[in-house]
Chains A and B, each alone.
Chain A
């Protein structure tokens, strides 16, 4: 069965199956293990029937949705600028996208601690403009957390879109413009449909990353705002409720998975329409 030319691939395949796939299978199995030794969906039922836990779940999903929505809105003008840009502008935009992404997450979170703090630039500017009388801190608020996560996760949406635009045909847009469609209509009717699959792929990455960014959530959100990752950590590190932690992780994965599946189906649908 193992052919000679694929021999070199097997160490990695074995490594990933042994050390990556099997722990996850184990995680799924343990999530079904009840406190009293029984097997079933008891942990899931217990989690979902607890109003506080349910609030954490919906709060986390809402955080992911908010970040994804703001990322999409903010990315739009930049994506359009990238499309119109020449080689040098595109290069600059690419650097400004890649540098934050390659910078350690802890560093980006630190930058936002300074930005959002009582003595930070945002508070000082508002003070200077007379919009507020006392310095205000945006730390430990969901607004601040969303602002930070939008900047931290935006590259995940931008990069797939940029790579589509690099391959896209400029002539379609020019043709639309020559035919008299306004700038707006030309962009939204000829370029926008082409980037939709990449946008959907980006949404999944942004959503999954925003809902599980433990460091940013704990540091910027503070102790009062609890999201699923902190909840999981509490179950494991403080309460030693491993089966419950496993069940919560599976829920987190499942919710991201459902969104991914939905978006993939939507992308197929859109693509069919685009070519139909």
Chain B
């Protein structure tokens, strides 16, 4: 009897682990696959199941005559995202590199400040930044969005670079200096290649987050310049058509590329 109860309990355990685990796994990835499937839908509505395979929504999305506003919004967003990546790289990479070499107490007291945006809801920051802007007598602008995105997303790159910089052997840089290389040359030839994977992984993360952010973009952006996340948000609320699925398909592809980049370059820093 005890033997039977033991077996039953073990059986239930594996049913729970495998059955439950796989069900949850499908729950996690299912919606993403659904969005992809719907983007190749031939029907005129987003009803499930899709009516055959077609690329019509992608064609419609790429057609400038029909989707002009989406293109403009996408280019505006890409411009902001790329500028954000450049600004974030310029301030973050040197900081992460220096803090990896600074004494522990100093680094320990500064890091929480530099990582704080990761835990603060971006909506709250967006409101705070809007208040600060208006107090200075400034209106929403490209520069405001750029600085806002950089402030909120800089920690993403700070983390990936810091992870690599901490793991680098300082002896390499010392050796380079001892052998007569100048400070700048040592940085370019020894330090930079060491942290470059972290910069790359971080840049990709910052780019994607900037492309996706609604609240900072909404509060700080010039209302005359539509941005992609706001355009998509509006389409979700008003005119849900297949083009949203097609944009989703492209963004999922971008996420998959990001995943591959992270696993290749960022894996060492995040593990």
Contacts and interface: CB of A to CB of B under 8 A. Distances in A.
B214 to A, nearest CB: 5
Contact of B97 (A8, A245, A253): A8
B158 A99 contact: no
Interface string A3-19: 10111111111011101
Interface in A25-73: 26-27, 30
B29 A236 contact: no
A104 B152 CA distance: 16
B129 interface: yes
A19 to B, nearest CB: 5
A228 B21 CA distance: 33
Contacts of B259: 95, 98-99, 102
Contact of B31 (A7, A80, A112, A163): A112
5 contacts: A3-B106, A104-B255, A119-B47, A154-B28, A184-B13
A12 B131 contact: no
A236 B134 CA distance: 12
Interface of B: 6, 9-10, 13-14, 16-25, 27-29, 31-32, 34-35, 38, 45-49, 90-92, 94-95, 97-99, 101-102, 106, 110, 113-114, 116-117, 119-125, 127-132, 134-135, 147-148, 150-152, 154, 158, 208, 211-212, 214-215, 219, 229, 232-233, 236-237, 240, 244-245, 247-248, 251-252, 255-256, 258-259, 262, 271
Contacts of B232: 106, 110
A239 interface: no
Contact of A124 (B18, B45, B49, B219): B49
B144 to A, nearest CB: 10
Interface stretch (A168-176, A190-198, A214-222, A261-269): A214-222
Contacts of B129: 19, 23
A97 B262 CA distance: 14
B171 to A, nearest CB: 16
Interface in A216-263: 218-219, 229, 232, 236, 242, 245-246, 249, 252-253, 256
A126 interface: no
B215 A214 contact: yes
A77 B24 CA distance: 8
A98 B252 CA distance: 12
Nearest to A256: B121
Given A26-B131, A104-B251, A119-B47, A96 B25 contact: yes
A27 B158 CA distance: 25
Nearest to A245: B127
Contact of B46 (A3, A76, A112, A117): A117
A109 B21 CA distance: 23
Nearest to A93: B25
B208 A114 contact: no
A15 B110 CA distance: 13
B18 A110 contact: no
A95 B214 CA distance: 25
A104 B35 contact: no
A155 B254 CA distance: 18
Q: How large is the interface on A (under 10, 10 to 19, 20 to 34, 35 or more residues)?
A: 35 or more
A183 B35 contact: no
A162 to B, nearest CB: 10
Given A107-B252, A236-B130, A249-B124, A9 B154 contact: no
Given A75-B24, A100-B28, A106-B233, A246 B127 contact: yes
A13 B113 contact: yes
Contacts of B45: 119
Nearest to A125: B48
A86 interface: no
A80 B29 contact: no
Nearest to A184: B13
B34 A115 contact: yes
Nearest to A112: B31
B113 A114 contact: no
A166 B244 CA distance: 38
Nearest to A6: B102
Contact of B24 (A8, A78, A124): A78
B17 A84 contact: yes
Given A15-B151, A21-B113, A81-B18, A6 B121 contact: no
Contact of A77 (B9, B20, B48): B20
A88 to B, nearest CB: 14
B98 A7 contact: yes
A121 B37 CA distance: 12
A17 B113 contact: yes
A80 to B, nearest CB: 5
B150 A15 contact: yes
